[in-house]
Structure 1
């Protein structure tokens, strides 16, 4: 038998243990949740501090200091978060890489609003590259032109800065010129259109932007093409905004070998005529389809700019023209464009035309060429109509006593044959 009172004490102890255990469980849960919350807050604070550190490291303060001094604004330039750029690129997957060079890597991405963009990610640990990125943001906020690639935003709160641009679908002009299958599709009309649009955008930078801008790295690899072969000038990392009271800047020489202005190379004095020289090389490349530097060519032909100028001076342009654009009937037009290129490639900057003059001249040649081709097509149609009418007149009855059938003599005249109609 259970002694009296023991069962009651057991029940009492059970009823006491359960609340204690429950209290301990709740206490542990609260402690766990509290610890997790504290840890999360600490991590969030740590991440915020890290983002602040990266923002400063990536030139955010420099950007804030310089932008108020510019007449442009960043109203249309969005500041993207890390998450907004990681997802569109599959966390910067290699399969999304569409280009890379000295400044960094470019990825193709699709934003949450379905816009296709190009995301340019700087190289890690190179302060000079970071300065170029900040410079590009500052320069592009001053530009609004249909033939300049549009900057959509930037992200500075990551380990390296990133810029977000509109995505241009058709690759670079360099890709088209130096790929056999593509170059054959790049007609002279398209090439002249691209040249005219590029010249117009550079003239805008030099004369119509809120403050004059020198691109400093004009080349076919920096001219993008959309699906209609519309030119979009890109890569403003090396560009310089020129104070209104100056006509030249003294800088460390930057640019691409083969396109680099020789006067700037020797003096370090950068002017708008440096862009003119580089554009002259682009024109030579469009006309010849040749690479600007090639060690596979003879020594005298390795540098396209100097070789091209010598061939134009010797009236031997036809020998270096790209077979895809030279059809025999457009030689005079090609020679006129070649002469524009030759003037752009003058060794002395003062002997070169301005980009505005180049843009006007190319536009005039393009309009003139269209008119010539239009008239040629009309004459061709008239000629075809005339031949058709002549052939038709030979097939009808030409009078009493003659048949509509006859023979053509050696001079191309029809000899009509009398009919035997009994008269």
Structure 2
């Protein structure tokens, strides 16, 4: 790649978490390539602040679950073709697709077919280790290099015949200081006043399925701890839905908006009740004992009836810390097992100085070692390394 030649990079994301990854990647690439790099594609507010002129608002396509996808299918399909046309017209030096595989991978397939000379980097591996493992080999047709956030994923793709995969670390490895309490921020568990984090999910469908159960659970827990303080971090676009949903809770939570308030709550909390997802990894790194619950979309519930559990590396779990640690450290409840009385029983153990609480804290400490990059450094820099290598090979 010429030292002076302008470089154009297309980035396509489909939701807020992808926008955060995309923004950090843009910053790392700007640090490497300077003013000669420009960006095009699809992104959210963070990427736009760094100079990306997005094709449309990503809220058009940020949906999860078959029911929600079907309701907006026509606009999603239209946006796929709009995005493909725009990328072909821009003719970038590389296309980076970030997460949201139902959208971004459909874009990549069509770009590969119409412009096979454009290399494609996939950022965030679909969960082929959990279900639909055949996606790995199919992905190899239109993804040249894959950037994985979880340490076991390169080995999974090798076994499944997927694309060349690099573990670039999870963004959370850069946020240890924000997630972990300084002296005095988290009071001793022996104190009477307990602080409980409640995290019902970052998507509307998750909140709809869990908020009632979580409210009933809080009511039961508060009978044992009358001074219980509830902290509920909420993403801005779900604030009104959540405020309406908790209006009849027996204990009113403090609803927190914004990343800074969220991580301040993490540093204070003694335990957490959370939906399954990346937040379980945040809690694990913060050292907060948790119980995880999840109710799946009706389509996946039917799939689960055919294959009720999946196993990876000998672990039966949907919780990321459990999968990474290869043992069930965090208790989880799925579908019909999500019962307030059962969730209460676990939380009461985690909100006191019990062997169950200490065992989980001890288990979660091992996440640091498992998730660190081999040669240190930041996640975004490791991702930028691979993108620059692809540019050099195709330069």
Structure 1 and Structure 2 fold alike (TM over 0.5): no
Larger Rg: 1
